[in-house]
Amino acid sequence: MAKDMFLLFLIQVEIGYLYDFVGITMGASMTNNPLVNFSGVLGYSRCYIGTAIAFDTQVGQLLKCDGGLNFKVPFLRAALQLKEKGGTLSASCYTKPLRDAAFAAEVTHRFADKLTTIQLGSQYEINEALMIKGRVSTDGDIGALLQLQFFNAVYLTFGGEINVKDVNSARMGIACALKYEIPHIASGKIKLPISIGEIGGGKGWCVTK
């Protein structure tokens, strides 16, 4: 597996440019029919706009064309995103009014089927090593997870979800992640996130903080 990852790294080239208020990244696979990627961000710490584009030169098809606007203040984070090549529009917000609790909401509209979905979520840190999360949406999905932290490096997560419209859709899963920081002379620290497993029903959740 390590050999395959190394070979993949050799046939991928990427270049980036970063200035005070602008960031641009372009990449392409070094093959006869390369997959070309482009992403850019314009703005500053509290408000910025960005886009991400992917194009397959083999079939001449645009695989991805997303855009977004983000706004952040000390008590609130909000985002407006146009995804799926303009087929889906979503607006979300996140706030943490209490030190141990946070709340989030997202509204998604799909233009093709004219379907609008609202999702609400929350998280609560019982202590430094234990966190619980829950979410519910108007399409019937309900999910929850429990995250345990050991030695400030190992994250063990138990999660599950079910759609109340289909009892047979219930799923459960477990995930383990290792997050370790190695001191480095030049940059101070290097973070090595290593994830193992997948949460069946962990849609929308982050394993590590």
**pLDDT tens digit sequence for 17-39:** 888 889 999 999 888 888 899 99
Rg of the chain over CA atoms, in angstroms? Answer: 20
User: Which CA distances in Å does 43 have to 61, 92, 158?
Assistant: 29, 19, 37
Query: Phi and psi of 3, rounded to 5°?
Result: -65, -40
**pTM of the model as a whole:** 0.69
C-alpha 67/C-alpha 89 separation (Å) is 10
Residue-level pLDDT at 203: 42
Query: Phi and psi of 9, rounded to 5°?
Result: -65, -35
Q: What average pLDDT does this structure show over 110-138? A: 94
> pLDDT per residue over 141-197, tens digit each?
999 999 999 887 888 999 999 999 888 889 999 998 887 665 544 443 333 333 333
Query: Phi and psi of 53, rounded to 5°?
Result: -130, 140
Cβ atoms of residues 186 and 156 within 8 Å: no
